[in-house]
Amino acid sequence: DAGVTQSPTHLIKTRGQQVTLRCSPKSGHDTVSWYQQALGQGPQFIFQYYEEEERQRGNFPDRFSGHQFPNYSSELNVNALLLGDSALYLCASSFWGKPQHFGDGTRLSIL
Amino acid sequence: AQSVTQLDSQVPVFEEAPVELRCNYSSSVSVYLFWYVQYPNQGLQLLLKYLSGSTLVKGINGFEAEFNKSQTSFHLRKPSVHISDTAEYFCAVSEGRDDKIIFGKGTRLHILP
């Protein structure tokens, strides 16, 4: 049973560019959440998707946007990248009150 | 607003010794509490959770935690650590089972030989 899978594992971009990160939830899960983990910090909640709609959003600017597809997979898009966007981006999936399962993340480096 | 404070950024402990990682939380409503572990270059793995019921929660890898509502604490313990327990440990809180999770800044457990 595959867990949460994220792609790519590593990514290097330059300031001002745009990036798309992808997440496939654990089998049977229908809710996807995204978190940003800066170096030496705990993860911070970006937003959560359920039934293809954004259900909750953390304190992140509109440059961060997302999407959920009918098969429950999800994308995180970040526009106009800043140096401060360098972080590990974690995807988590869940189903009906069950604890969230996390993927191994995408490490994004901004030059 | 919810918040989580992990009182120690780093905890060194000798192998086979007991360890306690401290966590305090703040919330205006009933909460669910979690401990996650993060090994180098990996994502987060759920160690244990408190949703309701018994305040002593047992998790994987021999860890346990005790929920103390009056002290708003959820400390993690293990009676005897192994070198393989070297990792970053995150305490976290949520207001609902599917709700966003608020994490502490983490405690790095360093096992000494």
Structure confidence by residue, pLDDT tens digits, B2-44: 899 999 999 999 999 999 999 999 987 778 999 999 998 888 9
CA angle B87, B93, B99 (to 5 degrees): 115
Q: Is the pLDDT of residue A13 over 70?
A: yes
| Residue whose tokens read 């608020």 | B102
Indicate the range of A86-90, B1-5, B22-26, B98-102 predicted with least confidence.
B98-102
Task: Tell me the pLDDT tens digit for each residue of B45-92.
Answer: 999 999 888 889 999 999 999 999 899 999 999 999 999 999 999 999
Digit-coded pLDDT (tens) for A17-35: 999 999 999 999 999 999 9
Which residues of chain B neighbour A41 with C-beta distances below 8 Å? 105-106
Q: How far is it, in rounded angstroms, from Cα B47 to Cα B44?
A: 9
The whole-angstrom separation of Cα A94 and Cα A35 is 14
Contacts of A100 in chain B (CB under 8 A): 46, 101
Contact residues on chain A for B46, CB-CB shorter than 8 A: 99-101
Q: A-chain residues within 8 Å CB-CB of B104?
A: 42
Within 8 A by CB and 6+ apart from A84, the residues are A110
In 10 A of CB A89, how many CB atoms? 24
Q: Give the distance from residue B92's alpha carbon to the nearest chain A alpha carbon, in angstroms.
A: 9
- For strand B56-58 and strand B64-68, is the pairing parallel, antiparallel, or unpaired? antiparallel
- The H helix count followed by the E strand count for chain B is 0, 12
Predicted confidence band at B106 (pLDDT cuts at 50, 70, 90)?
Answer: very high
Give the pLDDT confidence score for residue A57 in this predicted structure.
Answer: 95
Q: How confident is the model at residue B97 (pLDDT cuts 50, 70, 90)?
A: low
Put simply, the answer to whether B46 touches A101 (Cβ < 8 Å) is: yes
Instruction: Work out the minimum CA distance from A108 to partner chain B, whole angstroms.
Output: 13
Q: β-strand A10-13 against A106-110: which pairing, if any?
A: parallel
How close A42 comes to chain B (CA, Å)? 4
- The overall average pLDDT reported for chain A is 95
Predicted confidence at residue A96, as pLDDT, reads 79
B chain contacts of residue A23, beta-carbon cutoff 8 Å:
none
Q: In this structure, what is the dihedral angle of CA atoms B69, B74, B79, B85, given to the nearest 10 degrees?
A: 170
Cβ <8 Å between B43 and A31: no
Whether the per-residue pLDDT at A1 is higher than 70: the answer is no
Distance CA B85, CA A72 (A): 34
pLDDT tens by residue, A94-109: 987 777 899 999 999 9
Q: Quick one: pLDDT at residue A65? A: 97
What is the longest distance spanned by two Cα atoms in chain A? 40
Among the partner-chain residues B42, B90, B100, the one whose CB lies closest to the CB of A45 is B100
Contact A109, B47 (CB under 8 A): no
Q: Give the B-side interface with A, CB within 8 Å.
A: 4, 34, 36, 41-46, 49, 90, 92, 96-106
Per the prediction, chain B carries an average pLDDT of 93
User: To which H or E segment does residue B29 belong?
Assistant: none
